[in-house]
Structure 1
Amino acid sequence: MKEITASGQTIEEAVQAALEQLNTTRDQVEITVIDQGKKGLFGVFGAKPAIVKVSLVKDPIKETEKYMKEVTANMNLDVDIQTTIEGKHVTFELNGENIAILIGKRGQTLNALQYLIHLVINRISENYYTVTLDAEGYRGRRQETLESLALKMADKAMRLNKKVALEPMPAFERKIIHSVLQGKPGISTYSDGEEPHRHIVIKPK
């Protein structure tokens, strides 16, 4: 964290001097008043300058974008990052050539990178963020695939009148399956196993 100490006749002047030296704005810093200063007699005798310490605060979202750029560059990929913030949820959409490398088989590479990014952003930020990492609309296509799979496997469970276990998948994908089948009559779902092999079981009632 970059920080400097500055002084001025008033706290505001000291802060402004620090901002100019850091070449930044007030919303990007933390300000600590070391000495409020003293005007002195007639504004001259016994006067003391105000002293402040101003620290440049890292923007967790920008730092996370920078991290993603470094990771993808090491994979020999040139990606464009589009960031959407909704409250405390951040979606990073990656676009570029050879994006399939970043997605991996059934999204495994993308899921692993999403996990890392979730750690990175919350290590920097004082607030807790949830993260979605997408690549050229893969998440939407994957959701459609999972919804179709859920209905197909539910029909199979009812037809055979026995439990059907799906392949292991991350929690946010299991949630899609649970949601799709929640209102389907004659079917119940539950998760079984330990991570990273936790999977959904579809059971006829």
Structure 2
Amino acid sequence: MDNRTNLDDYLAGLGISDADESELPPPAPETAQSAAPALEAAHEAPVVVLERFLRGLVSRIDPSLSVNVHDSGDALEADITGESAARLAGRDGRTLGAIEVLAYTVLAKQDGRGELRVRVDVGGFRKRQADTLTKLAERLAVQVAKSGEAHEMQPMPAAERRVIHIALKEHPDVMSESVGEGASRRLIIRPRHG
């Protein structure tokens, strides 16, 4: 698999391509330093590297957006906020997913940082998505508990399956499990007893 092609696809999803670089306005003086290549800063803390990368990226897309990065213990979490931040999520969160892949790649290129998890949210998209998935899990749990029959969901990304697993972890009547491989991996909600 050609990594450059995948990276080009992600950049195209962000509206950025090699041909577009000459058309991009130069970064504002206050963001020029933050747009410096993150890969050259191998000695810097991952939080600093991630914040510099994301600030450089969003300054090219919409300079009015703000970036806040913190270490939650199990992952580096970044929030991109601003009046038009929600648009940056893209259709079904695809652009947001591409931003996460790019951010992870920047950190993974640095020695010893490939194990870090990166979560990026723009305009509260991930929070709204998690709330929607939690409500869906609760509705399906009632349905499965009432009917006694398992419910198999459509394939979904690991982060979305995780939200549902967590929502149903303590449920007294149902349990969830992931089945399948790769992009076909999906979740099944089953009655706990029976």
Do they fold alike, i.e. is TM over 0.5? yes
Take 1:89 and 1:125, find their aligned partners in 2: how far apart are those partners?
A: 17
Q: Which amino acid counterpart does residue 166 of structure 1 have in structure 2?
A: M
Give the root-mean-square deviation of aligned CA atoms: 2.6
Which structure: greater helix fraction? 2
1:201 Cα deviation after fit: 1.0
Take 2:187 and 2:120, find their aligned partners in 1: how far apart are those partners?
A: 23
- Residue 160 and residue 197 in structure 1: after superposition, are their counterparts in 2 closer, same or farther (change >3 A)? same
Return the structure number with greater relative CO, CA threshold 8 A, min gap 6: 2
Instruction: Map Cα deviations across residues 41-70 of structure 1 (whole Å, 9 max, x no partner).
Output: xxxxxxxxxxxxxx9835543333333244
- Residue 91 and residue 176 in structure 1: after superposition, are their counterparts in 2 closer, same or farther (change >3 A)? same
Matched, 1:90 2:46: no
* 3-state SS in 1 of match to 2:184: coil
What is aligned with 1:148?
135
Matched, 1:77 2:75: no
| Structure 2 residue ranges without an equivalent (≥5) | 1-40
* 3-state SS in 2 of match to 1:169: coil
Take 2:74 and 2:149, find their aligned partners in 1: how far apart are those partners?
A: 41
What is aligned with 1:4?
none
Q: How does 1:109-124 map to 2 (within 5 A)?
A: 109-124=95-110
Instruction: Map Cα deviations across residues 100-140 of structure 1 (whole Å, 9 max, x no partner).
Output: 33212332321232132122112225344221111122222
- Residue 156 and residue 86 in structure 1: after superposition, are their counterparts in 2 closer, same or farther (change >3 A)? closer
Calculate percent identity across the aligned residue pairs.
27
Q: How does 1:1-205 map to 2 (within 5 A)?
A: 57-73=43-59, 76-78=61-63, 79-87=65-73, 89-127=75-113, 128-204=115-191, 205=194
TM-score, structure 1 normalization: 0.62
Q: Which amino acid counterpart does residue 93 of structure 2 have in structure 1?
A: G
- Residue 85 and residue 163 in structure 1: after superposition, are their counterparts in 2 closer, same or farther (change >3 A)? same
Tell which structure's C-alpha radius of gyration is larger: 1
Which structure: greater strand fraction? 1
CA contact (8 A) 2:51 2:68 kept: no
Instruction: Map Cα deviations across residues 130-160 of structure 1 (whole Å, 9 max, x no partner).
Output: 2111112222222221111101011122333
CA contact (8 A) 2:137 2:167 kept: yes
Deviates more, 1:57-66 or 1:127-136: 57-66
CA contact (8 A) 2:71 2:77 kept: yes
- Residue 109 and residue 168 in structure 1: after superposition, are their counterparts in 2 closer, same or farther (change >3 A)? farther
| Structure 1 residue ranges without an equivalent (≥5) | 1-54
Q: Which amino acid counterpart does residue 118 of structure 1 have in structure 2?
A: Y
Aligned length: 150
